[in-house]
Chain A
Amino acid sequence: MMSPGIVPPYLLARIAAVQEGGWARAADAAQRTLAAPRDYTPGVRTRLRLSIEEPGVLTAETAPAHDREISDAQHREVVPGVRVRGEDDKPTGDTAVDEAFDGLGATFDFWWDAYARDSIDGSGSALLATVHYGRDYDNAFWNGERMVFGDGDDDVFSGFTGSLSVIAHELAHGVVEDSGGLLYRNQSGALNESIADVFGALAEQHLAGHTAAQASWLIGEGIFTEAVQGKALRSMAAPGTAYDDDVLGKDPQPAHMRGFVQTRDDNGGVHINSGIPNHAFYLAATRLGGHAWERAGLIWYRTLTSGKLPQTADFVTFARATLATAAAEYGEESEEVDAVRAGWTGVGVIPDDTQPRS
C-alpha cells in the first residue's frame, strides 16, 4: 500500500508511463517511486521535489519532509517549555526560534541529501528544540530527545542558534546515540565529540556548497561576543588556534597524539582530545578534495552506523574501522584508503608503517 504521499499514485503512474524522450528521467523517477516499498506510516511527512536538470527534463522525486517543533523555555531551566513554532507555522520574529527552526531544516536536508538518512533516527523522527533555556545560560546541549539552547550571557557567548555547525553538532549527538552510542568519557567520549564536530562542519559546508578547500573547518564561528579574542570554539584545520583570550585562556585542543591531554575535567577532556580525530578527518577530506561529505564523510558515516563500533571504542579502534570501511567502499588500493590512512598517521593515531586491517 502506498503511503499518503503528496503525489497521488495515479499521477506517478501517468508520469511513469510517459514515452516522450524528454520525460525519460521523470518517468524513471516516477517508476522508482512507485516501486519503492512503503509502509503506511501515519504522521510521517513526505514532500515532492521537482527539478529540471536539463532543458525539458522534469525529475520528480519524493523526499521525506521536515517535521520541526520549537519550544520556548521562557528563561527557566525546564524542557520542553511552551510550543512556539511548528512545521507549518510562519516565522515568529524571535531570532532564536527562527534560527533554530532554519538550522534544524538545513541539518535535516544535509542528512538526507548526503546519506539518505531520514532524520536523527533514520525513520523520520520529529526534530525538537527548546530555546531561551535558563537565564544567561552559556550552553547548547542534546538532552537525549531534543536540542536545548541557552541565550548566552552576552559576555562570552552571544547565543548559539546563529551557528549551523553548533545546531548540527547537537543533532549529530542524536545520530551517534541512535547508532549505538560512544561512552561519553575519555577517548570514546572524544570520538563522540569529534563525530558531532565532523557532521556539524559538514552540514555547514553542505548548505554553503563549499568544497573541502573552501570550507572554514570552524565549529561555532560567530557565537563569541566581540569582547572575546577568538573566532570560533574549535578549528578542525588547526586545533588549538580557535581562540586565545585573556579570560578564557587559549584553545586547549591538540592536533596530534603527542599533545593528548589527561584531565578529569570535561568527562576526561572529551572536548579537548576531540581535536585529534577532528584533524584526522580534516587531513583525509582535504587530501581527497571536493565535497567533504561525499567521500570522507561517507566513510565516517558508514563506520558510525555499521553497528560494529563498540561503545568504548578508542581512537585506534575507530581509525581501523574507518580504514576497513574505506576499503570495503572503495577498494584496498583506492585513494580513499590512502587518504584515510594519511589522516590517522598525520595525527599519530596509527604508525606510519601500519597497513590497514579489515
Chain B
Amino acid sequence: MTRSPGPDPTPQPAVEVDVARSGGIAGITRRWSAQPAGDEASEWISLIDRCPWDETGGPGSEPESDPESESESESETEPEPPTGRAAPLAAPSPQGRGTPERRPVPDGFTWWIRATWSDADPREAELVDDQVVGAWRDLVDAVRDWSRRSGDGR
C-alpha cells in the first residue's frame, strides 16, 4: 500500500489535535492529526472543550517508574518525561499500593490525545480504550475522519 500525497499547504492551523493509539495485539502505533483552520476551528474548540481533560491522566499525573523503584520506593513523583508525553495509566503496584487506577488490559489499546491551539496551553490526556467514550470518542473520531479526508494514512 502506498501513502497518498498529503494535502496542499494550508494556512497556519488555528487548532491541532493529535491522536496516537498504541498497543493492541498488533503492537502497531497509529497516529492521526487534524489541523482545522478558519471557521472549522471554532467547532473543533467546542469539541475539545467538551472532553474531561482534568479527570484523566494528563502530563505527569501518573508517573511511570521501573518495577524496582516501584516496589522499593514510596515516592509518587518523577520528573516530567523528556518527551512531555502523558504517562500511561499505570497498573497498580504488586503490593496494591496506590489508587485503584485502571490496570492495562492485555492487548488493549492506549490512546494519547493532545490538543494545541494558538492562544492556550496544550492539553494532553492518556486513556485506556474503554475510557474513549462520549466526548473523547467524538473527538477521536473527528480527528481520524479529518486525517482520512486529508489522505493521510489508512
Min distance, Cβ A183 to any Cβ of chain B, angstroms: 6
- One of A112-120, A244-252, A282-290, A322-330 at the interface: A244-252
- One of A6-14, A26-34, A135-143 at the interface: A135-143
Select B107's contact among A142, A187, A234, beta carbons within 8 Å.
A142
Min distance, Cβ B78 to any Cβ of chain A, angstroms: 12
- With the chains together, A272 CA to B23 CA distance in Å? 10
A-B contacts, 28 of them at CB < 8 A, read: A77-B133, A138-B24, A138-B26, A139-B108, A140-B25, A142-B106, A142-B107, A153-B154, A155-B154, A170-B107, A173-B106, A173-B107, A185-B90, A187-B67, A189-B104, A193-B27, A233-B27, A234-B27, A247-B1, A264-B81, A264-B87, A265-B29, A265-B112, A266-B22, A266-B27, A267-B104, A268-B64, A312-B68
Name A232's closest neighbour in chain B (CB-CB). B26
Min distance, Cβ B47 to any Cβ of chain A, angstroms: 20
Contact A183 B106 (CB under 8 A): no
- With the chains together, A184 CA to B92 CA distance in Å? 10
Contact A267 B23 (CB under 8 A): yes
Select A143's contact among B70, B71, B90, B105, beta carbons within 8 Å.
B105
**Interface residue count on the B side (C-beta < 8 Å):** 40
B-chain residues with CB within 8 Å of residue A156 when the two chains form the complex: 154
Contact B25 A266 (CB under 8 A): no
B1-28 Cβ-contact flags toward A at 8 Å (1 or 0)? 1110000000000000000101111111
Min distance, Cβ A315 to any Cβ of chain B, angstroms: 12
* Contact residues of A: prevailing secondary structure: loop
A-chain residues with CB within 8 Å of residue B44 when the two chains form the complex: none
Q: Quick check: is A256 within 8 A (CB to CB) of the other chain?
A: no
Q: Quick check: is A303 within 8 A (CB to CB) of the other chain?
A: no
A148-179 Cβ-contact flags toward B at 8 Å (1 or 0)? 00000101110010000010011001001100
Given A142-B105, A188-B67, verify A160-B25 contact (CB < 8 Å). yes
B110-148 Cβ-contact flags toward A at 8 Å (1 or 0)? 101000000000000000011001000000000000000
Contact B25 A141 (CB under 8 A): yes
Contact B3 A139 (CB under 8 A): no
- Excluding A155-B154, A184-B91, A270-B27, 17 further A-B contacts by CB distance (< 8 Å) are A140-B107, A141-B108, A153-B154, A166-B25, A170-B106, A184-B103, A185-B90, A188-B67, A192-B106, A233-B25, A245-B1, A264-B88, A265-B20, A265-B23, A267-B104, A271-B23, A310-B94
Given A160-B25, A185-B88, A186-B66, verify A141-B105 contact (CB < 8 Å). yes
Q: Quick check: is A144 within 8 A (CB to CB) of the other chain?
A: yes
Interface centre among A140, A166, A248 (most CB of B within 10 A): A248
Name A267's closest neighbour in chain B (CB-CB). B104
Contact B105 A247 (CB under 8 A): no
**Interface residue count on the A side (C-beta < 8 Å):** 54
- With the chains together, A153 CA to B87 CA distance in Å? 28
- With the chains together, A220 CA to B94 CA distance in Å? 31
Q: Quick check: is A228 within 8 A (CB to CB) of the other chain?
A: yes
Query: Among residues 168 to 218 in chain A, which have CB atoms less than 8 Å away from a CB atom of chain B?
Result: 169-170, 173, 176-177, 183-189, 192-193, 196
A-chain residues with CB within 8 Å of residue B1 when the two chains form the complex: 227-229, 245-247
Select B67's contact among A77, A248, A314, beta carbons within 8 Å.
A314
Name A176's closest neighbour in chain B (CB-CB). B106
Select A144's contact among B22, B26, B105, B112, beta carbons within 8 Å.
B105
B45-63 Cβ-contact flags toward A at 8 Å (1 or 0)? 0000000000000000000
- With the chains together, A156 CA to B144 CA distance in Å? 15
Min distance, Cβ B111 to any Cβ of chain A, angstroms: 11
A-chain residues with CB within 8 Å of residue B112 when the two chains form the complex: 265
- With the chains together, A78 CA to B71 CA distance in Å? 35
- With the chains together, A193 CA to B106 CA distance in Å? 8
Contact A139 B27 (CB under 8 A): no
Q: Quick check: is A311 within 8 A (CB to CB) of the other chain?
A: yes
Given A247-B1, A264-B83, A267-B110, verify A311-B153 contact (CB < 8 Å). no
- With the chains together, A188 CA to B68 CA distance in Å? 11
- With the chains together, A142 CA to B25 CA distance in Å? 10
Contact B94 A311 (CB under 8 A): yes
Min distance, Cβ B29 to any Cβ of chain A, angstroms: 5
A-chain residues with CB within 8 Å of residue B23 when the two chains form the complex: 265-267, 270-271
Contact B25 A183 (CB under 8 A): no
